[in-house]
Structure 1
């Protein structure tokens, strides 16, 4: 059943394996389109009407009926109410593309005997876009929905979540032969989620808006299509023949670096988290990732930021409240990963005619290739925190060796602005928090080792060798001399 769902989803998403020619709407055209859509599907679910296409006056009516898949599933595992066909209307365009229009809604309820229940609700989901069968994707599309809601209940906990009005726009543009740039932007409003019965009892999460921005540059869409169709053509086989295994290796080799650059940013505004301790909040919380493809020097970046965090009233003692940052960021990257080398090794050594293409030693070798010389390099790109009494920034890099736990090194720069404000704050509150006095004393000692930066900033260039020795601005610590 899982395999049938996979094949059905792939066929439904691909729509067509060849460009559509500008044509009159006709029953013959509908039949040809339906045959292309169902080419990879098992005959029994095709005959049951999972995907059907009918000709109308100026468009083709595409109908996807998920109840067919449910009827194919084993009885008694999941009981679902409210399933109905999904409709879309395809209008052939002169340049060989399709204009796709859809307006659907969902109100699905399901039970899993002895396990729990779930619901999915989508109110008025609209799609309007131009689909290009050559790239098997939209060149442009607008998606909107009035409301989305989900709930899940088990014996252990219950989860419910919803979004208000949401909209997303997708664009894609063919670049070099076989490559495409894709971008997607969207906003989802009035997010709320409630988790009840978990370790924390009850947690309520909310945000006014979620802004989403995703871009994928230089995606190798043509070879990716070939890989998808290769999998669909061969997934019914118990094992690959030698000629098919060789074809798979050629496709994998041609796919590198898969894409040139991926970036994704999600920003939640006016965030609240309600717990038994009170309501925590923030003006904004941002999450981002970025990656430069499957190369010999791959970089994977990740980041998290918060603006004006707000703890519940009274949870922080007054002497700590002033130290709460107005904004804080953590952005780092794992760099110099030889992912292309690992894929090349896989291609050169794997035997895809066998159930286990690689030996245990070969799998370990792939791990060693990914980390050149066994080292993982972590670069700190934006680690910072700012409040009324401090302004702290850290940059640089660290080397760690996962298979040698005691081996590591670092080369980082710590910059402190508003240093005098920080010392004044610590000394003013040392009577209530004795540890502040110790920190103040330590910072004043460190000031003597700092170099001056612009605007009176204090800067420490810290080097930590694999032998554990520490240099500050090129000078060893006194007790290490």
Structure 2
């Protein structure tokens, strides 16, 4: 079943896979399109009408019938009600592209009978619309808008139940050819009125909500031409138990040509007015953001990640009043793992792997790939912005840490800590020390640290902190007194 779904999905992704199809609408054109779409499908699915194309006066009607997948699964473990064909209309455009329009809805109910018990689920989409321009050369949309209203999902098992809903969703994608073989792709979108409830399990009941969820993704320099060839190669050979030598050589050739796959990937997701309801009360935040970025499969690959919380708000009474006053208005963590030689590892793989075998690499060769990725065994973690800001403090940390995954006790660091509003912070801690004894200890510690700081001007105190692999610490170039 999994393989059949994969093949069906791949076939749909190849819609209009030849610019030659952009011509006057005709029965022969519909037949040619259907043959291309069903090229990788089993014959019984083709005969059952999983994918069909018909010619109308000025467009092609493309229909996908998912009930065929369930009927051909040959198992009673999955029962689904409400499945219906999904239809899209393809209008040939003068420049060789297609305008694709679709307007559908979903209302599906089903059960999956699997250990440890029967699970039930529902999917509801009141309406979903697609309007875009599809370019057969790049096998992707040059522009497209997708909208949906009233999305809902439920899943119930003997252990827990999950319900989720979105009031409205709008997504826009666009692709621009940069040269003969690369694309820049962008995708932006927003989900409104997101809500999810999880009942059961160790947490009891958890309610998660957000007014809006904004999504922004960009992929620069995607090597679409060679990736198309690679996808077709996999589809053409996925039925084989093993590759013959000429096919294995071709696979290596395609993989080499695909490097670095893309130049840059960035993704940002921001949820606004977030609430998380638990048995302890409702936690909230004005906004929670997540981001990642990567520069492709390179000799010096960088993988960045981070999150940001604005206006965190705990439930009333969970924290003492003194602690509530010390909560940050904003907290940020942004870091990156750098200097990963992923391109070197791929090159070694292609130089040494034998794809005609079930196990292309030996155990020693697999270990060598790990050594190439981290040449001296160290992983570099770059702290780009670790900060917390409130009316009584302003702390920032940046710098680098080296860790050795195979040597847990070996590490070193070189970081810079900058603290503004220092006197205000100490005064707040001292003022509330009677209520929170730990604040008194913290104030004493900060005053000791101030003696080791350097004045960066503007009321900022700075500590350049170096920690060696031997555990020795230098602060602004000076060893700690007890380590001298």
Q: Are the counterparts in 2 of residues 430 and 437 from structure 1 also a CA contact under 8 Å?
A: yes
Q: Are the counterparts in 1 of residues 164 and 195 from structure 2 also a CA contact under 8 Å?
A: yes
1:248-269 superposed Cα distances (whole Å, 9 cap, x missing partner): 0001111110000000000000
Which whole-Å CA distance do the structure 2 matches of 1:433 and 1:395 have between them? 30
Among candidates 374, 388, 394, match of residue 377 of structure 2: 374
- Could you state the TM-score of these two structures normalised by the residue count of structure 1? 0.99
Any residues of structure 2 matched to 1:296-445 within 5 Å, and which? 296-445=299-448
The residue that corresponds to 2:63 in the other structure is 63
Q: Are the counterparts in 1 of residues 182 and 222 from structure 2 also a CA contact under 8 Å?
A: yes
The residue that corresponds to 1:105 in the other structure is 105
The residue that corresponds to 1:37 in the other structure is 37
SS for the counterpart of 2:120 is strand
1:393-429 superposed Cα distances (whole Å, 9 cap, x missing partner): 0000100001111111000000000000110011111
The residue that corresponds to 1:28 in the other structure is 28
Which whole-Å CA distance do the structure 2 matches of 1:75 and 1:471 have between them? 66
Among candidates 204, 220, 229, match of residue 232 of structure 2: 229
Which whole-Å CA distance do the structure 1 matches of 2:78 and 2:241 have between them? 29
- Offset, 1:75: 2.5
Q: CA RMSD in A?
A: 0.8
- Offset, 1:17: 2.6
1:142 aligns with 2:148: no
The residue that corresponds to 1:461 in the other structure is 464
Larger deviation, residues 428-437 vs 345-354:
428-437
Q: Displaced runs of 4+ in structure 1, greater than 3 A?
A: none
- Offset, 1:381: 0.6
Which whole-Å CA distance do the structure 1 matches of 2:87 and 2:22 have between them? 22
Any residues of structure 2 matched to 1:91-170 within 5 Å, and which? 91-113=91-113, 114-170=117-173
The residue that corresponds to 1:82 in the other structure is 82
1:78-109 superposed Cα distances (whole Å, 9 cap, x missing partner): 00000000100000111111100000100000
- Offset, 1:176: 2.2
Larger deviation, residues 340-349 vs 17-26:
17-26
1:322-363 superposed Cα distances (whole Å, 9 cap, x missing partner): 100000000000000011111111101110000111111111
Q: Which runs of 5+ in 1 are unaligned?
A: none
Which whole-Å CA distance do the structure 1 matches of 2:335 and 2:459 have between them? 27
Which whole-Å CA distance do the structure 1 matches of 2:286 and 2:231 have between them? 43
SS for the counterpart of 1:237 is coil
Which whole-Å CA distance do the structure 1 matches of 2:21 and 2:432 have between them? 77
- The aligned length equals 481
Which whole-Å CA distance do the structure 1 matches of 2:231 and 2:271 have between them? 34
Q: Which runs of 5+ in 2 are unaligned?
A: none
